[in-house]
Amino acid sequence: MDGHWHNVLKKVWIFLGLAGFATLLANLDATAGTNTEAHAGWRLVWSDEFNQPDGSAPAPSKWRYDTGGLGWGNRELEYYTLRTNNSRIEGGKLVIEARREEFDGRHYTSARLLTLGKAAWTYGLVEARIKVPHGQGMWPAFWMLGTNIASAAWPACGEVDIMENIGKEPGTVHGTAHGPGYSGLGIGGSLTLPGGAAVADDFHVFAVECKRDRITWLMDSRPYFTLTPTNLPAKSAWVFNQPKFLLLNLAVGGNWPGDPDASGTFPQKMLVDYVRVYEKLGPAGN
């Protein structure tokens, strides 16, 4: 907020009282950057800014948990819990923490949050500002699944991996889509930071723009891969024109990243500054 408006607002404190004015000013500052010029033509329809008190669990009105330690189809090593040891708010950010500890037969714990049953979207711009962890065996992800997963099952429900990073490729971000006929490795692209920089060195904004016949992956507003129905294998279905819910998780080990090794240190943290969903102004899906 610029100085002019601070000066104007200071004059209203006599009506609100000091406490009331401080709350008003904080709220205005907090929302000042919510819909920037970078998103002109879009309307914010859902967000979590993770502004709850330190140590609290993520908002139950927005997030639920997957729990368990069955490998999740990828030979992962962690047990996902709903404890604040593994997911909590700290300093206005969501912390998803992977810990090396014994828990129900597993040697690691972590968390996997999802909006299933809380919120879902078919088209729009979905983004999150995230600082990923580092180290061999770490597998942070920000992704989406179709809400029809219970009836259609995977991969017919469709999966859009907005961001995946694995510890053995510290400078590379992957964006991938999975569907019937292209499950397995899926179809996707990647972006590698220049100069040997690691993704874990700083926060980055990871996003997808979902349209009726096009999905575009972006990192820090830079598009790096686009998928259309023409990219699919012959006779494969485009399964992304249906509502999708969000997931955030930090896996340990698995078929793709491999297991942690002696160089790894724990705990490891995935920090999420915000998650925001925008709707395009105009006809849906365009």
pLDDT, mean over the chain: 90
Active site residue 159: yes
Confidence grade of residue 114 (pLDDT, cut at 50, 70, 90): very high
More confident residue, 47 or 11: 47
Instruction: Give the residue-averaged pLDDT of 150-159.
Output: 98
Q: Which of 76, 159, 209, 279 is catalytic?
A: 159
pLDDT at 222 over 50: yes
More confident residue, 19 or 87: 87
pLDDT at 3 over 50: no
Confidence grade of residue 38 (pLDDT, cut at 50, 70, 90): low
pLDDT at 134: 96
Active site residue 49: no
Instruction: Give the residue-averaged pLDDT of 33-60.
Output: 86
pLDDT at 176 over 80: yes
Q: pLDDT over 70 for what percent of the chain? A: 87
Q: Which of 164, 169, 209, 279 is catalytic?
A: 164
User: Encoding tokens for residue 122?
Assistant: 């078919």
What's the CA gap between 59 and 124, in Å, rounded? 23
pTM listed for this prediction: 0.87
Return the ∠ at Cα 43 (arms to 37 and 48), rounded to 5°.
Answer: 95
